[in-house]
Amino acid sequence: MDPKHYGGDHILYIGNYLPDGHPYLKMSAKELLKIYDPFLKRINPSYQLSAVSCQLFTQPFAQPVITPSYLKNVPGMATPLKNVYLANMDMIYPWDRETNYAIELGEKVAKLVTNKNF
């Protein structure tokens, strides 16, 4: 997205898939950013670390674990809470996790939010 949507800033997502017990999993977001910083500079020499905010998210699995009865339990996008909708990567089943399926799911929930049929 154009940085104008973020006050001229850029959003950077750094993903990593690590084995259980890896030392990085015990580090803070700022500690990890210091480790990744030299590599980000190698990728983009004009990169400068000027983080306004740094968030860290960890999950025990890289993708949802689908059970045989999963289709019976897939939640709907509308929730019992007013104006709260759900769109998770586990909802793209039977497809595997890929950005294009995430975008499609986002478009579906956006249509739901704007009261368009899909």
Give the pLDDT means over successive 10-residue stretches in the chain (118 positions). Answer: 78 85 93 92 87 80 78 86 86 78 89 74
* Cβ 56 vs Cβ 29: under 8 Å: yes
Cα–Cα distance, 73 to 64 (Å, whole number): 13
Check residue 116 and give its pLDDT. 60
Check residue 38 and give its pLDDT. 93
Check residue 9 and give its pLDDT. 79
What's the pTM? 0.54
Phi-psi region of 27 (alpha: psi -120 to 50; beta: other; left: phi over 0): beta
Look-up: residue for tokens 């929730």? 79
Q: What is the separation of C-alpha 1 from the centre of its chain, rounded to a whole number of angstroms?
A: 15
Q: In this structure, which amino acid lies at residue 77? A: M
